[in-house]
Amino acid sequence: MSVAVLGLLIAAFIALRVPIAFAILGPCLAYMWSHDQSVGFAMRTATGGVNSWPLLAVPLFILVGFLATRAGIAERVFALVLALFGKFRGALGYVNIGVSLGFSWMNGSALADAAGVGSIEIPHMVKKGYPQRFAVGLTAASSVIGPIMPPSIPAVVFASVALVSTSALFAASVVPALLICLTLAVYVFFWARGHDDLPNEPFEWAQVRRTTLGGLGALIAPIIILGGILEGYFTPTEAAAVGAVYMLLLGFLYRSLKLRDLPKVFADTATTTAAIMVILGASSLLGWILARERVPQSIAEAFLGFTDNKIVFLLLVNVLLLVLGAIIEPTSALVISVPVLLPVATQLGVDPIHFGVIVVLNLMIGLMTPPIGGVLFVLSSVTKTPVAEVFRGVAPFLIPLLVTLALITFIPQLALWLPGLLDL
């Protein structure tokens, strides 16, 4: 079996609704057996791809997100941000962004953000007279902050596939995540100028004090998780475990988490993790085959024959990943594309950490675009609105996100400044 047939089979199986892990694994096994590789080698390679200390952060960060949701952290952050920013014109727009930022420290998934935070914010915004399209679009756009700001599950997966430091990638993602907040806030500012009729929330110190006390536990979480990693107290995996234990204690302290909730939380963590990890295992085998066949080198030569301009390459990568992200689930798109694109990027002098930030941001924007955009489906369910209508709301917010993507792509220092400062 040639590598071209292998690629075609994988693409055909994915298109024909075969689970992506098996769509990769099946043709890879056929390749291994047709090339007389010893029986058992494929199993060793696939399980070896998952048998990784950095990847242990994935189930742990997923657990942190589930526990934070169950513990009612999103509601507390919402109440706090509303008390702080409620008096500005278009306040609920800024609150929407602020809540996603606050929740992002505990949650590395755009879908969890859209479902958890969106289900609080959208009804409130609509009730206060904001157009539903605006509320849905902004919620979708701000949900991208979650998987960019550490802890980020796609970043952990990228670091594992690309063999780069997870801590460095986490640090590199902080400024881009804040930049997304800023560009979205600018959009809200200009939008709100044309909507004088929107009501404000009164600013009261008593309310700020009350909600700050209520949200204190949530405010400490990023200090433990991100502070622990960036200050070198914990590895990302250890920080995730500490974060999970902290969320567990916080949930019990708030009395929003019951012992009887835990089996379901743990089981959901296990199934969500397994769905990601089995793809990573299969992609390890695919990676081994691609390396054996020198595919990355061939693609690198083809790319370099076309252009040796870093800027043109990054533009092409952005277009490719935006399309890929719109049709394939991000983790799958990541494990398929990174082994092929990263060698070209490094040959052209693109820093792997910078490249990681670009890849993750592209794939997350893909979550907001048809036909597969998961965030669209989630918000369609939350608001009981057709997916097409949700996309009409989301479409204008693609502009600030694409502006952010362009800034991060062409000004590498935006991503690389913090890891450099922290010597990571």
Partner 1 sequence: MQTTTTRQEQPWGLQRPRWLAAGLRGIELIELTFGAICVVAIVALVMLQVLARVTPLDNQVWTGELARFSLVWMSFGLAGYLLGRDEHIALDVVDHVLPPLGQRLVKAFSLVVVAATALMFGYEGLDLFTAGSPIKSPATGIPLAWIYFIPMLGMALTVLRAVVELVFPSSHEGQIRVAGEVITDDTLAADGDALTHAALGEKPPTADKETVR
Interface with partner 1 in residues 145-174 (CB under 8 A): 153
What does the alpha-carbon distance between residue 102 and residue 216 come to, in Å, rounded to a whole number?
Answer: 12
Q: Shortest Cβ distance from residue 301 to partner 1 (Å)?
A: 30
Residue ranges of the alpha helices (H) in 293-412?
A: 295-306, 310-327, 330-347, 352-366, 374-383, 387-394, 398-410
Site string for partner 1, 184-223 (x = CB under 8 A): ----------------------------------------
By CB under 8 A, name the one of 1, 3, 7, 29 that touches partner 1. 29
Residue 293 and residue 33 in contact, taking contact as beta carbons nearer than 8 Å: no
**74 or 408: CB nearest partner 1:** 74
When asked if residue 317 is in the footprint of partner 1 (CB under 8 A), the reply is no
By CB under 8 A, name the one of 22, 88, 189, 254 that touches partner 1. 22
When asked if residue 245 is in the footprint of partner 1 (CB under 8 A), the reply is yes
As a three-state string, the secondary structure of 251-268 is HHHHCCCCHHHHHHHHHH
Summary count for the chain: helices (H), strands (E)? 24, 0
- Phi, then psi, of 90 in degrees rounded to 5: 70, 30
When asked if residue 17 is in the footprint of partner 1 (CB under 8 A), the reply is yes
What does the alpha-carbon distance between residue 161 and residue 287 come to, in Å, rounded to a whole number?
Answer: 9
Nearest alpha carbon to residue 336 among 320, 316, 354, 315: 320
**178 or 327: CB nearest partner 1:** 327
When asked if residue 331 is in the footprint of partner 1 (CB under 8 A), the reply is yes
Q: Shortest Cβ distance from residue 331 to partner 1 (Å)?
A: 7
**75 or 181: CB nearest partner 1:** 75
By CB under 8 A, name the one of 191, 254, 293, 329 that touches partner 1. 329
Q: Shortest Cβ distance from residue 183 to partner 1 (Å)?
A: 24
**46 or 345: CB nearest partner 1:** 46
By CB under 8 A, name the one of 155, 181, 229, 244 that touches partner 1. 244
Q: Which of residues 39-98 bind partner 1 (CB under 8 A)?
A: 39-44, 46-47, 50-53, 55-56, 59-60, 62-63, 65-66, 69, 72, 74-75, 78-79, 82
Question: Would you list the DSSP string of 51-112?
Answer: --TGGGHHHHHHHHHHHHHHTTHHHHHHHHHHHHHTTSTTHHHHHHHHHHHHHHTT---HHH
Query: What is the size of the binding site for partner 1 (CB under 8 A)?
Result: 94
Estimate the crossing angle of helix 73-85 against helix 91-104, to 10 degrees: 140
By CB under 8 A, name the one of 155, 229, 328, 424 that touches partner 1. 328
Going by C-beta distance under 8 Å and a sequence separation of 6 or more, which residues neighbour residue 36?
none
By CB under 8 A, name the one of 171, 241, 353, 363 that touches partner 1. 241
- Identify the DSSP state of 40: T
